[in-house]
A and B are shown apart, each in its own frame.
Chain A
Amino acid sequence: MGPLHELLDQSSLFLQQLVNGITLGGVYALIAVGYTMVYGVIQLINFAHGEIYMLGAFLAYTMVTVLHLPFFVAFILTILLCSCFGILLDFIAYRPLRQAPRLAALITAIGMSIFLQNLALMIWGSQIKSFPRELLPAVFSRPALVLGEITVSWLQIFILTITVLFMAILHFIIHRTQVGTAMRAISHDKVTSALMGIGVNRVISFTFAVGSAMGGMAGILVGLYYNAIFPTMGYIAGIKAFAAAVLGGIGNVPGAMLGGGVLGIAEVLGAGYISSEYRDGISYAVMIAVILFKPSGLIGKPTGDKV
């Protein structure tokens, strides 16, 4: 097995790629949660979610560079702003269309996405921005672990910790709290939930808030990790995160985590070993294949139409 040997010789490179892939996967998972939760509750693909992620990155950037806030303060403020923004988005764009056909809501979502992206383009310009290193906590750029040729930076650890932590919190919210129960009830039947005394709109707003907070957070983390913030970042990342959500089974939070991880690893390995030009193509291909062959995702449940 000649090729395999060569592959093993390159194992440190491979492992490094794996670490990078997992980090990327964590970020995808954070964004994917927003898609999954909103889809689970109101069966809408919230195209504008990618834009919230982009806004998160830009808001944090503005706070750090223009307002000179400390990074962690900016981090928390951005998350709060993003969740407010999510609620606003739902209130302005989607709530009036709750009873409308799904096509209308989907078109609105696309319209919002385009609108926000171009708004960002007008405000911040099309140049790629990056967080100035000196304004960030110095620890981020230091390596945390060095094993031979593999390095894991503190930033990567920070990203992974935050991802896992928030996923755990989210899982707790959905399965152990009253709001979570209400969310699950609404995802089954909106009308009956309303009749049972659940404030449907309030719960949907909450869903948007949580999803957007996660999305905004992912935006900051990616801005740090790749050191690049630009108005169209939400569009590609959004689609990839959606692919991750679909891969895991849309409407399913652990699924989003799994899907994000798998997609992140596949993307980094694919870019490394197959073709870096088709880096984005890999996510699209994975997404198309999953939708075609197993639309319910890796751990989702199939759904049927009612007659």
Chain B
Amino acid sequence: MKTILRVARLSKSFGGISALQDIDMEAREGQIVGIIGPNGAGKTTLFNCLSSLYHPSAGQIFFGDRPIAPEFSSKKKKLVAACALVFLFLSLLWTPIFWSLFVPGALFKVETVMLGLLLLGVRFFTFRGLRRFEIWAWGLIFLFLAADICLALFLGGRPLSQDRFLGTSLPLGWVGTPWALAALPFSLFFGLQLCTAPARRLFGFKIGPDAVTRLGMARTFQNIRLFFHLSVLDNVKIGAHCTMRSGIWRSLFRTRRQRAEEQGAEQEALNLLRFVGLEQRALVLADALAYGEQRRLEIARALASRPRLLLLDEPAAGMNPQESADLIRLIRRIREKGVTVLIIEHDMKVMMNLADIIYVLDYGRMIAQGTPEQIRTDPKVIEAYLGGGVHAPA
């Protein structure tokens, strides 16, 4: 069995309070993996890190072989990243300086400063948009460099404008100096911001939750997060968002491809609703569903994105024994479809019945792992759940 999810030394802290510390875990394809632990053990935080809603403070997450939250381990990579940052920083700050080489006094001219600010803005947002430092980021930097040179050459040959500022009677140089002085902190600030934002991405870069879902990891939420004002069917179709392609134009003109895609998605959504037993309720608003039905709808919505890994956050919370038994059957059927399931659950009976392997969290640390039998008899687990009396009962 191939490993589908690997978490290595994952830590997450919120302003000094560490919610997760050095978590190592692994899920193999086709397994049902359980995560248990008392309240406040960091289970949901772990899920949020996995689905990229939180960005881990340290550690790595690999989904298949794709990193979701890596940490640059080798020193060489760190060095490269640091060099890139310095270069990025320079390429931002140097525009006015560079121009002043070509245009005497350009540093103090209103036009250069304004243009410089504009270009800074453009660069700033371009770089902010970068998900990580890729080869085309270097390309962009060189593009900007070329633009600087061209602009400087272009401006160097001719007077910048009449010597008055924007139609006022103020002499230009007069206005230019304060402007340049005012621009300096701005560019410094942009530069610093730029340096910190990509730095975060370089040394532990960001993948948005949407990208994680597109990679094939879907989740449900502990406190149900459905689109309550939409119909059940639409909820599932939104779940299928990343399996569809049509954009504005195709939707506007209802091309054949778009219609076929919509039809396919609708059919698949109906199939999924049948799978979780909600077919009869497909056309009511999600608001009108009963609690247990809403939980199942969340599962259907998550499945609609055709995930390889499904994260279920306390799916049996608030269910009666009959409903939990149904849920167990449903999760088994999901596994039979070839989806790996990672599940957080308080209900020990559900967990012992269902999971192939269980990880136990307590106070943000992994205190035990193993098969249900091993966990049942592990003294550390028993202590965490029953002993101590330090923390509130689960």
Contacts and interface: CB of A to CB of B under 8 A. Distances in A.
Chains A and B touch each other in the complex, with CB atoms below 8 Å apart: yes
B173 interface: yes
B270 to A, nearest CB: 30
Interface string A273-307: 11100000000000000000100000000000001
A2 B173 contact: yes
Contacts of B176: 3
Contact of A3 (B53, B108, B190): B108
Taking chain B's interface residues, is the majority helix, strand, or loop, or is none over half, making it mixed?
helix
A134 interface: no
Contacts of A1: 177
Interface in B130-177: 166, 168, 170-171, 173-177
B48 A307 contact: yes
B166 A6 contact: no
Interface in B166-204: 166, 168, 170-171, 173-179, 189-190, 193
B177 A3 contact: yes
B171 to A, nearest CB: 8
A293 B168 CA distance: 30
Nearest to A276: B168
B98 interface: no
A293 B44 CA distance: 31
B174 A6 contact: yes
A307 B53 contact: yes
Contacts of A7: 174, 177-178
A103 interface: no
Given A3-B108, A307-B48, A273 B175 contact: yes
A273 B178 contact: yes
B54 interface: yes
Interface string A1-14: 11110110000000
B206 to A, nearest CB: 14
A4 B173 CA distance: 9
Interface string B348-383: 000000000000000000000000000000000000
Contacts of A6: 171, 174
Interface string A142-153: 000000000000
A208 to B, nearest CB: 31
A1 B48 CA distance: 57
Q: Which bracket fits the contact residues of B? A: 10 to 19
Contacts, number: 28
Given A293-B193, A307-B48, A274 B177 contact: no
A293 B175 CA distance: 25
Contacts of A275: 166, 168
Contacts of A2: 173
Contacts of B179: 274
Contacts of B168: 275
Contacts of B166: 275
A3 B174 CA distance: 5
Contact of B177 (A4, A293, A307): A4
Interface in A262-276: 273-275
A151 to B, nearest CB: 24
A7 B175 CA distance: 9
Interface in B26-48: 44, 48
A274 B179 CA distance: 9
B28 to A, nearest CB: 27
Nearest to B186: A289
Nearest to B168: A275
Interface string B46-62: 00100001100000000
Contacts of B54: 307
A307 B48 CA distance: 8
B194 to A, nearest CB: 11
B173 A3 contact: yes
B53 A274 contact: no
A131 B182 CA distance: 38
A4 B181 CA distance: 11
Contacts of B177: 1, 3-4, 7
A1 B179 CA distance: 14
A273 B108 contact: no
B189 A293 contact: yes
Most buried by A among B48, B54, B177, B190: B177
A307 B52 CA distance: 11
A2 B171 CA distance: 11
A101 to B, nearest CB: 11
A297 to B, nearest CB: 14
Nearest to A278: B166
B313 to A, nearest CB: 10
B189 A274 contact: no
Nearest to B178: A273
B173 A273 contact: no
Contacts of A273: 170, 175, 178
A293 B189 CA distance: 9
Contacts of B44: 307
Contacts of B173: 2-3
A270 to B, nearest CB: 9
The 7 closest A-B pairs by CB, nearest first: A3-B177, A3-B173, A3-B174, A307-B53, A307-B48, A6-B174, A273-B178
Given A3-B171, A3-B173, A293-B190, 7 more contacts: A3-B108, A6-B174, A7-B178, A273-B175, A274-B175, A293-B193, A307-B44
15 contacts: A1-B177, A3-B108, A3-B171, A3-B173, A3-B174, A7-B174, A273-B175, A273-B178, A274-B175, A274-B179, A275-B166, A293-B189, A307-B44, A307-B53, A307-B54
